[in-house]
Homo-oligomer: A and B are copies of this chain.
Amino acid sequence: MRDVAVVGVGVTDFGELWDKSLRTIWAEAALAALADAGVEKIDLITIGCMSPGLFVGQEHLASLLADELGMAGTAASRVESACASGGLALRTGFAEVASGLSDTVLVTGVEKMNDVDGADATYALGTAADQEWEGFHGITFPGLYAMLARAHMQRYGTTVEQFAAVAVKNHANGLLNPHAQYHLKLTVEAALQATMVADPLRLMDCSPVTDGAAALVLTTVEKAEKMAGNRPIVKISGSGLATDTISLANRDDLTELKAVRVAGERAYAMAGKKAEDLDVVEVHDCFTIAEIMATEALGLFGPGEGGKAAEDGLTAINGKIPVNTSGGLKSKGHPVGATGVAQAAEIVTQLRGEAGDRQVAGAKTGLAQNMGGSGGSSIVHILEVAS
């Protein structure tokens, strides 16, 4: 297996991009990543996108987007694992370069979610749950995560103030990210008074509906070393992929995200790393409870300790282990197919020392954790500065 490096990063502004279409925002991110890498020729484009069929009535993005980039002819593929589609695009590109099937891959993620009306967006997202056993009964994602939150509160004494602490921290980080959807200073008090969405989750516990795209350029470490410039070379040292039952009703334990734990174990094993080796982490905070549970599943904190850790500031940029320096899904926004790629883009930016006001000093090793549905799938990548 060949060593794989990330040599280019591109991210669009995230938000309500009413004046741009899916193909426009995608190309913006792709061109930014190619320019950042200084690369023109690529062997493959991978595209993470959850549901262009339901959001914008368009499938076959492989052909559409290679064409949009002026690269018709180039090999291209779209992958989907609900909100973990971006992480899956990264995994797919990694396998292509590692195997030798491709030398240089453009890994991308995109979602255009605002072009459907509100009810349809909720329906489209709901197709990530088991439609015959969950969706049929009318439940949508805030309700599913509310059940996880209640179970966690009951077993561990996790509090709504701890949920609010996650939101406050991520919005503070988002203030430092020019691409973030929201630049707002949030207080615990305001979070606790926000509109109730699905008890105990309030509006400030939920990530938004977002348009956006992100892209990375992968090649071999060998080729990266020959490229011009004196930026650190960032290597992908671990990739882990796992599933869990899609329906919450079939899980033995609602207080652990098993797919995240297993995907993390696989990535740690491949990279030869432990949680203690990490300097910076992006996790999938589609809801505040998801961030708490992800930090536990990845072994950053013990079971039931994630909420207190957030409240104690351990996950702040200057904390013990900074989590979601980008602002996370909560503040940066959550264009579902783009999220996994944007997470990895943040880790690469941190490891290159280019994160500006949100830089974690001396970060050498990072992790990005992407998740589909209510934890039915998860994809974890570990990245590090190549020595």
Contact = CB atoms under 8 A, between A and B. Distances in A.
Chain copies in the assembly?
A: 2
Interface stretch (A68-76, A144-152, A318-326, A346-354): A68-76
A259 interface: yes
Contact of A60 (B63, B71, B82, B266): B82
Interface string A241-252: 111111100100
Interface string A41-84: 00010000011111011111111101100011111111111100
A377 B54 contact: no
A209 interface: no
Contacts of A91: 77
B56 A53 contact: no
A376 interface: yes
B262 A73 contact: yes
Contacts of A75: 240-243, 263, 266
Given A72-B244, A99-B1, A242-B74, A127 B57 contact: yes
Interface in A231-269: 239-247, 250, 258-259, 262-263, 266
Contacts of A44: 241
Given A53-B127, A98-B101, A135-B57, A76 B1 contact: no
A88 interface: yes
A154 interface: no
Nearest to A68: B246
B135 A60 contact: no
Contacts of A80: 59-62, 78-80
Nearest to A102: B95
A99 B1 CA distance: 5
Interface of A: 1, 21, 44, 50-54, 56-64, 66-67, 71-82, 88, 91-92, 94-96, 98-101, 123-124, 127-132, 135, 239-247, 250, 258-259, 262-263, 266, 372-373, 376-377
11 contacts: A50-B59, A57-B131, A57-B135, A62-B88, A63-B243, A67-B250, A71-B243, A72-B244, A73-B262, A77-B241, A98-B99
Given A53-B127, A67-B250, A92-B95, 8 more contacts: A60-B127, A60-B128, A60-B376, A63-B259, A63-B373, A64-B246, A73-B243, A99-B101
